[in-house]
Amino acid sequence: MSTFNAVLARNAAGLSTADRQAAHSVAFSHYNNLSAQLPLDRTTGQLVAGGIRQQAEQCFENIRSIVESIYHSMDDVVRITIFLRDIADLATVNAVYATFFPVYVPALTAVAVHDLPLGALLQVEALLSNGEGTIPNAPQAGDLIKLARNTDSAPCSALSTQTVAFSHYNNLTAQLPVNPHTGVLVEGGIEEQAAQCLRNIKAILNSIDVPFDDIVKINLYLTDLADLPAVDAVYSTFFPDSAIARSHAYFPARSVIPAQALPLAARIQIEAVVSHGDGTPPQAVEDRHGIVIRTGRSADVPQDKLATQSVAFSHYNHISALLPVSAHDGKVVAGGIAAQTRQCLEHLQNITQSIEHSLADVVKVNICLTRLADLPLVDAVYRDYFPSATPARRIIGVASLPAGADIQIDAVLANAEGTAPRN
């Protein structure tokens, strides 16, 4: 019997999919990563008839089908991410969402994007706990407890939990620039909004006694990429947050994701994934202490002074967003979308190899495209790197990307060896 976690890719019987290059669910250690679900009718494989309510119901029904097919329940969902074509549809989607989570509510992110596959009005993805773990034939650590927690020091919502911890990770609800005392957007411009998002994240972490520098991945949703320099100026005042982090120049892995619109007409929304060294009971004491954050950088991949290429904690590696730019001159590679896709995936392969892993360890891939019509060309290259179509996947259309690129890719990797204490 193996004593190591295994990547476990599964598909729900009878569930149609528009993405032939991805598994419905990819489990590793104590998490299941689900591919984003479109509102496809199970029997026809076509978009369900009707408007936003019918499409939302179908997306969540598809998620429930996947969850139940792997012997879990919707109460095991840790995070839900909703991508919309029109932010005005969010109220209707929220009403549907609430029927699938009538008591417990997971961490939540909602964002409008430029386009979605098949012209769908929305797409929904889920991150699921996996209490049995993925060591073959060997349940891990018993029935782990999910910890859902809120604080009045950050904005509260009946639709989401501020932070949901399971095993060695905390997943935070995406934070808008809302003053928790007034419940409205802060006054001022992008600098004030960025600072408020980060203060809200810090308040949540303070409430659960987790240091700010335990953040391993940040997703920045921006309605205007021209705001990024101003956001970065604020961001660099929050990271690094401690003397130890400053001595190592530690920044979390990061992805900047263009949004068409955000709730409350905000200009920015920030989502965080946080390490949780204490774990969640009933993990044994020896499993809960001394796990370290381990960073990785490849000299063959362009560097970002505000993001670490690979941040590993426990059994996962989080990879920053990768653009199709050359490590030699920082320019987007020539040759169209196929060449750009190959460059992104070469960067991903170089990073994984630099930390002594391979692309077979990838459990989730997230792709942003400026033209969804390019997806067949992207997939033709993608198959060279992922011939078994194992990773879960998410694809969204965006209006533009940094550096004028046409594609951006980030990923989550399995980390079978974990991150044990170092001498």
291-423 has the same fold as 143-289? yes
pLDDT at 42: 85
Tokens found for residue 256? 């900047």
pLDDT at 138: 66
Tens digits of per-residue pLDDT, 333-378? 999 999 999 999 999 999 999 999 999 999 999 999 999 999 999 9
The separation between CA 351 and the C-alpha centre of its own chain, rounded to angstroms, equals 18
Higher pLDDT, 284 or 395: 395
Q: Over 90: is that where the pLDDT of 282 sits? A: no
Q: Residue 56: what residue type? A: A
pLDDT at 337: 98
Give domain limits for the chain: 1-140, 143-289, 291-423
CA distance 414 to 416: 6
Q: Over 50: is that where the pLDDT of 423 sits? A: no
Q: Over 50: is that where the pLDDT of 260 sits? A: yes
Q: Over 90: is that where the pLDDT of 214 sits? A: yes
% residues pLDDT > 70 (the chain): 95
pLDDT at 277: 84
Tens digits of per-residue pLDDT, 13-31? 888 777 889 999 999 999 9
How much is the mean pLDDT over the chain? 94
Strands 316-322 and 293-296 come out as unpaired
Q: Over 70: is that where the pLDDT of 2 sits? A: no
The fold of 1-140 is 60s Ribosomal Protein L30; Chain: A; (3.30.1330)
Q: Over 80: is that where the pLDDT of 140 sits? A: no
pLDDT at 290: 64
Tokens found for residue 204? 């949540």
CATH class assigned to 143-289: alpha beta
If one looks up domain 291-423 in CATH, what number appears? 3.30.1330.40
Which pLDDT band, with edges at 50, 70 and 90, does 142 fall under?
low
CA distance 116 to 396: 5
Q: Residues with Cβ < 8 Å from 329, sequence gap 6 or more?
A: none
Which pLDDT band, with edges at 50, 70 and 90, does 422 fall under?
very low
Tens digits of per-residue pLDDT, 35-65? 999 999 988 889 999 999 999 999 999 999 9
